[in-house]
Amino acid sequence: MIRISGLLVCLLLAFNGISMAQKSDSTATKKVRFTPEDRANKMSDKLDRRLNLSKEQDKDIHTINTDITRRMEELKHNTTLSKKDKMQQMKALNEERSQRFKSVLTPDQYKKWNDWEMKKKEQMEARMDKKQQKRNAR
Protein backbone atom coordinates (compact mmCIF):
# COMPACT_ATOMS: atom_id res chain seq x y z
CA MET A 1 0.00 0.00 0.00
CA ILE A 2 2.81 2.39 0.90
CA ARG A 3 4.67 1.49 -2.28
CA ILE A 4 1.60 2.16 -4.41
CA SER A 5 0.88 5.54 -2.79
CA GLY A 6 4.59 6.45 -3.09
CA LEU A 7 4.48 5.49 -6.75
CA LEU A 8 1.34 7.57 -7.28
CA VAL A 9 2.97 10.58 -5.63
CA CYS A 10 6.00 10.21 -7.91
CA LEU A 11 3.78 9.94 -10.98
CA LEU A 12 1.77 13.00 -9.98
CA LEU A 13 4.95 15.01 -9.45
CA ALA A 14 6.28 13.89 -12.83
CA PHE A 15 3.06 14.87 -14.63
CA ASN A 16 2.99 18.18 -12.80
CA GLY A 17 6.58 18.88 -13.91
CA ILE A 18 5.73 18.02 -17.52
CA SER A 19 2.66 20.23 -17.57
CA MET A 20 4.59 23.15 -16.05
CA ALA A 21 7.34 22.73 -18.68
CA GLN A 22 4.72 22.80 -21.43
CA LYS A 23 3.18 25.97 -20.00
CA SER A 24 6.54 27.74 -19.92
CA ASP A 25 7.28 26.60 -23.49
CA SER A 26 3.98 27.98 -24.77
CA THR A 27 4.57 31.37 -23.16
CA ALA A 28 8.13 31.50 -24.48
CA THR A 29 6.96 31.05 -28.08
CA LYS A 30 4.50 33.95 -28.03
CA LYS A 31 5.65 36.73 -30.33
CA VAL A 32 5.94 40.22 -28.97
CA ARG A 33 3.78 42.47 -31.10
CA PHE A 34 5.16 45.94 -31.63
CA THR A 35 2.82 48.89 -31.98
CA PRO A 36 2.92 50.88 -35.23
CA GLU A 37 4.71 53.64 -33.30
CA ASP A 38 7.33 51.16 -32.05
CA ARG A 39 7.93 49.92 -35.60
CA ALA A 40 8.15 53.51 -36.89
CA ASN A 41 10.65 54.39 -34.15
CA LYS A 42 12.79 51.35 -34.90
CA MET A 43 12.72 52.01 -38.64
CA SER A 44 13.50 55.71 -38.21
CA ASP A 45 16.40 55.01 -35.84
CA LYS A 46 17.86 52.53 -38.32
CA LEU A 47 17.58 55.04 -41.16
CA ASP A 48 19.14 57.77 -39.02
CA ARG A 49 22.16 55.54 -38.28
CA ARG A 50 22.59 54.36 -41.87
CA LEU A 51 22.01 57.67 -43.64
CA ASN A 52 23.28 60.21 -41.09
CA LEU A 53 20.07 62.22 -41.18
CA SER A 54 19.87 65.82 -40.04
CA LYS A 55 17.54 66.59 -37.13
CA GLU A 56 14.94 67.95 -39.56
CA GLN A 57 15.21 64.90 -41.83
CA ASP A 58 14.96 62.58 -38.83
CA LYS A 59 11.77 64.31 -37.69
CA ASP A 60 10.25 64.18 -41.20
CA ILE A 61 11.23 60.52 -41.75
CA HIS A 62 9.77 59.60 -38.36
CA THR A 63 6.49 61.36 -39.25
CA ILE A 64 6.30 59.51 -42.58
CA ASN A 65 7.10 56.14 -40.98
CA THR A 66 4.53 56.65 -38.23
CA ASP A 67 1.83 57.54 -40.74
CA ILE A 68 2.58 54.62 -43.06
CA THR A 69 2.91 52.01 -40.29
CA ARG A 70 -0.38 53.10 -38.71
CA ARG A 71 -2.16 52.85 -42.04
CA MET A 72 -0.60 49.42 -42.69
CA GLU A 73 -1.77 48.24 -39.27
CA GLU A 74 -5.32 49.38 -40.11
CA LEU A 75 -5.09 47.48 -43.40
CA LYS A 76 -3.99 44.28 -41.65
CA HIS A 77 -7.05 44.38 -39.40
CA ASN A 78 -9.51 45.28 -42.16
CA THR A 79 -11.65 42.17 -42.57
CA THR A 80 -13.65 43.54 -45.49
CA LEU A 81 -10.73 43.40 -47.94
CA SER A 82 -9.49 40.30 -49.71
CA LYS A 83 -5.88 39.22 -49.23
CA LYS A 84 -5.08 40.37 -52.77
CA ASP A 85 -6.59 43.84 -52.14
CA LYS A 86 -4.64 44.17 -48.90
CA MET A 87 -1.40 43.28 -50.68
CA GLN A 88 -2.09 45.83 -53.42
CA GLN A 89 -2.83 48.55 -50.88
CA MET A 90 0.28 47.70 -48.85
CA LYS A 91 2.34 47.91 -52.02
CA ALA A 92 0.78 51.32 -52.71
CA LEU A 93 1.65 52.45 -49.17
CA ASN A 94 5.26 51.35 -49.66
CA GLU A 95 5.39 53.30 -52.92
CA GLU A 96 3.93 56.33 -51.14
CA ARG A 97 6.61 56.02 -48.45
CA SER A 98 9.26 55.90 -51.16
CA GLN A 99 7.94 59.06 -52.84
CA ARG A 100 7.67 60.90 -49.54
CA PHE A 101 11.22 59.85 -48.61
CA LYS A 102 12.42 61.17 -51.96
CA SER A 103 11.24 64.65 -50.99
CA VAL A 104 13.09 64.52 -47.63
CA LEU A 105 16.36 62.73 -48.42
CA THR A 106 19.25 63.95 -50.51
CA PRO A 107 19.74 62.06 -53.80
CA ASP A 108 22.70 60.18 -52.29
CA GLN A 109 20.74 59.24 -49.15
CA TYR A 110 17.76 58.18 -51.24
CA LYS A 111 19.98 55.96 -53.41
CA LYS A 112 21.50 54.32 -50.29
CA TRP A 113 18.05 53.75 -48.82
CA ASN A 114 16.65 52.41 -52.11
CA ASP A 115 19.62 50.04 -52.56
CA TRP A 116 19.14 48.80 -49.00
CA GLU A 117 15.41 48.22 -49.63
CA MET A 118 16.13 46.31 -52.85
CA LYS A 119 18.65 44.11 -51.04
CA LYS A 120 16.07 43.34 -48.31
CA LYS A 121 13.49 42.52 -50.98
CA GLU A 122 15.88 40.13 -52.74
CA GLN A 123 16.71 38.40 -49.44
CA MET A 124 13.02 38.01 -48.64
CA GLU A 125 12.30 36.57 -52.10
CA ALA A 126 15.19 34.11 -51.67
CA ARG A 127 13.75 32.97 -48.32
CA MET A 128 10.31 32.57 -49.88
CA ASP A 129 11.78 30.55 -52.76
CA LYS A 130 13.60 28.32 -50.29
CA LYS A 131 10.38 27.71 -48.33
CA GLN A 132 8.53 26.92 -51.56
CA GLN A 133 11.21 24.42 -52.57
CA LYS A 134 10.91 22.69 -49.19
CA ARG A 135 7.13 22.47 -49.61
CA ASN A 136 7.46 21.04 -53.11
CA ALA A 137 10.01 18.47 -51.92
CA ARG A 138 7.48 16.94 -49.49
Can you tell me the distance from the alpha carbon of 60 to that of 74, in angstroms, rounded to the nearest whole number?
22
- Per-residue pLDDT, averaged over 91-106, amounts to 95
Closest to 98 in 3D by CA, of 74, 77, 115, 83? 115
Q: What is the pLDDT of residue 57?
A: 94
pLDDT in tens, 63-82: 999 999 999 999 999 999 99
Q: What is the pLDDT of residue 135?
A: 87
Question: Which residues, 6+ apart, have CB-to-CB distance to 20 below 8 Å?
Answer: none
Can you tell me the distance from the alpha carbon of 81 to that of 73, in angstroms, rounded to the nearest whole number?
13
Q: How confident is the model at residue 16 (pLDDT cuts 50, 70, 90)?
A: low
Can you tell me the distance from the alpha carbon of 98 to that of 87, in angstroms, rounded to the nearest whole number?
17
pLDDT in tens, 110-138: 999 999 999 988 998 999 989 888 888 87
Question: Which residues, 6+ apart, have CB-to-CB distance to 24 below 8 Å?
Answer: none
- Per-residue pLDDT, averaged over 33-47, amounts to 88
Q: How confident is the model at residue 30 (pLDDT cuts 50, 70, 90)?
A: low
Q: What is the pLDDT of residue 68?
A: 95
Q: What is the pLDDT of residue 9?
A: 57
Write down the H helix ranges in the chain. 2-28, 36-51, 55-76, 83-104, 107-137
Q: What is the pLDDT of residue 17?
A: 55
Between 122 and 3, the more confident residue is 122
Q: What is the pLDDT of residue 6?
A: 52
Can you tell me the distance from the alpha carbon of 98 to that of 62, in angstroms, rounded to the nearest whole number?
13
Can you tell me the distance from the alpha carbon of 41 to that of 62, in angstroms, rounded to the nearest whole number?
7
